[in-house]
Structure formats: C-alpha cells, structure tokens
Amino acid sequence: MCGIVGICHIDGPDGVSLDGIKSMIGALCHRGPDETGVYLDDHVGLGHARLSIIDLSSGGQPIHNEDKSLWIVYNGEVFNYPELKKDLLQKGHRFYTTSDTEVVLHLYEEHGPDCLAMLNGQFAMAIWDAKKKELFLARDRVGIRPLYYTILNNTIIFGSEIKSIFMNENVARRIDPVAMDQIFTFWTTLTPRTVFKDIYELPPGHYMKSYRGKVTLKKYWDIPLYEHAEQSDMAPQEICRQVRELLQDAVRIRLRADVPVGCYLSGGLDSSGTTALVVKNFNSDVRTFGIRFDSGGFDEGEHQNLMVSYLNVNHTEMRATNEKIGAFLPDCLWHCEKPLLRTGPVPLFLLSDVVRNSGYKVVLTGEGADEVFGGYNIFREAKVRRFLAKYPNSQMRAELTGRLYPYIFNNPRLKRTLQSFFARGLDQIDDPIFSHFIRWENTSRIKAFFSQELNEAIGQYDGYDQVRQSLPDNFGRTDDFSRAQYLEMAIFMSNYLLSSQGDRVAMAHSVEIRLPFLDPRVMDFMARVPAKWKILGINEKHILKKSFEPILPKEITGRPKNPYRAPIKQSLLNDQTLEYTKEALSEESVKKAGLFDAGKVTKLLRKAQMVENLSEIDNMALVGILSSQLIHRQFVRDFPLRNADPVVPALVVDRRSEALRAVS
C-alpha cells in the first residue's frame, strides 16, 4: 500500500515543480515510508510514497511500459495479478519487475479502461500516456483506497489524502457548509463531496480522464442489484457451501505478499471466520491482533479469548483505555480528514500502531461482512417497521420490537421511547430511503447546534432528495432488503467504514488492510441470494452464520451481533483530555470557526460534565462538534499543523524541457 500524488495541466504544457511534488509526497510518507519516486514532464508531475509488500527489491514507482510511453503511480493491490500476467505474457508484453503494479499498467496498455473490470483488488491509480498527453485516474469498485482531487486554473491536483493537495499554496482551505449538513445527517459526505470546499473524491467504481483540454468522469461498476427474476433459486445448503468456497478463495488470494500477513480478531463472527479460514487452510501460525476496552459494554474479550484458544493463534491485545481514546482523537482526525460522530476509529488507529510495531505491514479484516450479508441492526429495524406499517393492529407489534433490543425493553421508559421511535415515518413505506430515514432524521437533530451563519450558507439544500436522485434505475424493482443494503454500501461503507475506520487509521501507521468479504465475486453472489435467506425472521447474517458453522464454535455463530463501538463522553471528558476538549469547545474557539452556536455548545459541555450518562444523541453531538472544531483547526486555521516529512526520491524521471524546467 502506498500514497500517490500528482499535478496535470489540462490545457497544455506549463511545467511542474519537482519541489512541489516532493512537498505533496512529504505529506503522505506515513502511507509509504519505504521509498519515494517522481515522474515529471512539461504536462504532468506524478509522485509516489511506497509501502513495499510485493516485489520488495525492484517494485519502486513510477513504473513504465516497454517503450516508456506509459507511466503509473499506484496505491493498492490487485490480488489476481499472477493470473492476469500469464495472459499478458502470452500476448508479448515484457516485464522488468515482479510487482502487481506493472501488471496493471500493461493491462491498461492492452485493454484501456476496460481493464478495470478484470481487477480483483483495492486500488487507486494514476496513469500518464506521454504520447497522447492523457491522464487516467481510477479507483477500486467499493472505494477501499482513497483518491482526492481539485481542479484549479485548468490544473488537476490529486492525491491519496487531502493534506497532500493542501500542500499546494494556491489551493484554498475552507469548510463546505453543505458537507457539514451531509455529515450531520448521514454520518459522512455524499460522494464526490468532501468536508472541504472544492475538494472532491473520485467516486468508487469510477475513472477520470483528462485529454485535449477536456475532463471526463465515468462509472465502470456499481453495487450489484438484482430483480426477483434474476435472483438465485439455490437451496440454502448449497448457498452456504458456495459462500465458504468463495470466501476461502478470497482469503487465499489476499494472502499473496512478500511480507507476513496477520489478522484482526475481535471475537465477532466476521473476523473469527476470516481468521479460521486462514488457520485451517493456509497458515496455522498466523499472528492475530485485537482490541480490548476498559468498559464492559464495549469489550469483547470473552469471545476474543475463546477464539484465540480455539484456533491456538499467537494473539496480541491492544487495550484502548478511555484516556488513550481521548488523547489520540486529534491524531486520528489528522488522518481521517473529516469530522466523526463516533470515537470508534481511534482504537483502530491505536491497533494499527501495535501491528506495525510487531513487524507486520498487512492484516486481513472482517469489514464488509455486515453490508454484504446483512448484519446491521438497521436491516432488522427496517424489516420490523415494514411489518408494523402493513399490519398496524397485529398483536405481534410489541413482541417484534422487543426482540430487536431485549436489553432495552427491560426498562419501561426506554421501551416506550424505542416504540415511539420505530413508529415514526410508517406512512412513508414507499419512500426509497424508508429503511434509513428515521436513523438519518435522528442524527439530523445535532444540526440544532449549527450556527446561523452555517445554516444560511446551507440554505434550502436537501440531502434526502440528492440521495433519491442518485439511485440506479432498477432500484425500485428489487426487494426491500436489497435496497437497504445498497443505501448502506453506497453511503456509509465507502465514506466511513472503509475510510475513517479502514484505510485512514491503518495507513496512519503504514499498515495495509485487506477485506475478503468485499471480494467482487462474494458481493455479486450474495446480491443474487434472496432476502429471506440473508435475514431469517430477524436473525441477522443467517447465511454467513450457517456457512461458518463447520469452522467456528457455536458460541460464535450463535451469539447476537455486538456492534463495534467505543466510549465517547468517558474518553473526551477525563483528566487527560478535559482541557483540550474545553479549549476546542470554548466560546472563543467556536465563534472563530463559525460552524456552531457557541451558547448551545457551552450548554452541551456543561451538561456533559454534570451528568453521569449522556443520551446517544448528546454523545454524538459532543464528538461531532469537537471533531469539527479540531478539523477546522488542523486544516483551515493552522495548516500545516504538522510539518511534512523531507523527501529524497530514490527515483526521479525528469523529462521536462529546459525552458519549463527553469521556470517551474
């Protein structure tokens, strides 16, 4: 895994500064600490920071084809590259490395953008065609690897992280008001928007071309949606058998590396299943890593220990204390580059540091299983709410809502609150966003803290309408469950799960995560499985549980899902973090940033200090406002708050003309 940067003049030659590219690379050296490389000509500059995982000795970038007409900088891995390389060799392509990057470049030379459909991997890339003077940017199907860009004065400036783009002094650094509205509704921005004005992310499953003064963006893949007639009529037992086979092969190819590969192991179904597939089929000595919490409500230590004993693995725990979570939130935000409504990314940030210090660069994780196999509570909630809407007089109403959250229904006050919550919006059953609407509406309550200035800038913007208008043509012709899955994957998965809880917190410490559950073969197969088998009654991830029964203990396959969470108030208002929290949320700081109403924020902080337990919405407001304030400080007010690392490239290919070399 690596970091890439670049500058491309859309209208013609204008020169690119070597120092400018080096400063952009310097902002990303945590992504690639092993070596750096640069390509320059009169039209384009490409930069690369390498984390060496495949072909450790000769896989440095930029990489070129035989006649040096094509150049690539690339972040990621293509796991089926050996099979692709065989075909390219038969067609006469010649290679000077054994890296997957060179395979991707020759595949592009052979097939153009159509090569993207052949790749099973996680990647972001930039390819420069020096003959045609064409720039090609692309990102993997689901957005595991990031790529951002801005267009300024007919120049494309791009990078794996936004901070690299901000190293260009001509790029303005401003918070986008509409992005704030989106984050405090959906937990994240809607692609391609980021929290920073005029900075965009290349959407997952898309590529961009710049050619002859024109920039075009095209989708090459979308989350699979199948109508009823296209879905499988396979028996459940056969579905489970094929799921095991697909996941086993997804794991097999994700173990391809020239360095050791470890596993995250939480004790939940997903990471336990992934690790079991590794241990039982490929590597019985695999190293595993897991998080422990001080607070019992967050800790999965009992089941983690059960799996460590069951698989007999060498396991390392990282204890995420409340003090650590609060203390490292600012560092985590520097890498996430967006406000957060949860503290969950911080323990994962801390865990990747432990992984790297243990000598590992690569780990397999269980992310994506909840989206693909139907594990989130929101899927169960939507199913129950549809039943309530269709059968308002059913005697099963109380029983169904009680089975969703039995621990809540033991409390009469919370029981009434939850029943009232689920009853909202039942007349909107035909709305395409019905499954998520009440959750989004609940999060939107935090917008009551927005400043008048921010509200005026947002104006009449309606994020719900934007989501509705972005849905594919066949969205309404598939089943309710598949629609809910699509919304979760298209909005939450790429921009939050794979970003703030995925790539960004792992690559902060130069660790690459690999996600077998998001293998495109697994995703497509499960998209064809009827909803009745994904969630049986209100039993989530039914197929995955049954698929893993032969390789996991029943204590794991039979346990209800425990959502991954981390403490908020206890982390942000303890002896070690109270002062920086109070300073960031002070009336002076809040007014300077202009994002929130200072008086309301002061009341929230006072309340948080006085009461023992905050409500869910107040906890989200506390971390959301604090993280927004810190993002503003780090990237708008005081950027660069941290100096970029000095860069001495191992490779510089300089093809600039003498005239433009002198002025750039």
CB atoms within 10 A of CB 560: 9
Residue closest to 285 by CA, chosen among 305, 255, 306: 255
Average pLDDT over residues 162-169: 97
pLDDT at site 617: 96
pLDDT for the residue 663: 66
The model carries a pTM of 0.96
Query: Position 205: which residue type?
Result: G
pLDDT of residue 409: 59
Q: In whole angstroms, what is the distance from residue 62 CA to residue 252 CA?
A: 28
Count how many Cα atoms sit within 13 Å of the Cα of residue 663 in the half-sphere of its side chain. Answer: 7
Domains and CATH numbers, the chain: 2-222+642-663 (3.60.20.10), 228-373+487-557 (3.40.50.620), 569-637 (no CATH)
- pLDDT at res. 402: 72
Q: What is the pLDDT of residue 486?
A: 98
661 or 251: which carries more pLDDT confidence? 251
Are 371 and 379 contacting, i.e. CB atoms less than 8 angstroms apart? no
DSSP 398: H
Structure token digits, residue 509: 């410490």
Whole-angstrom Cα distance, residue 118 to residue 486?
A: 23
Helix, strand, coil distribution of the chain in percent, nearest 5: 45, 15, 35
Per residue in 221-254, pLDDT tens? 999 999 988 999 999 999 999 999 999 999 999 9
Between CA 315 and CA 307 the distance in angstroms is 10
What are the tens digits of pLDDT across the range 22-71? 999 999 999 999 999 999 999 999 999 999 998 887 778 999 999 999 99
Instruction: Write out the two tokens for 113.
Output: 């953008």
Reading the block at residue 549, the tokens are 């029964």
Query: What's the pLDDT band for 279 if we cut at 50, 70, 90?
Result: very high
Per-residue pLDDT tens for 488-497? 999 999 999 9
The answer to whether residue 412 scores a pLDDT higher than 90 is: no
pLDDT, mean of residues 604-613: 94
Query: Using one digit for the tens of pLDDT, what is the confidence trace for 543-566?
Result: 999 999 999 999 999 988 888 999
Rounded distance between C-alpha atoms, residue 664 and residue 42, angstroms: 9
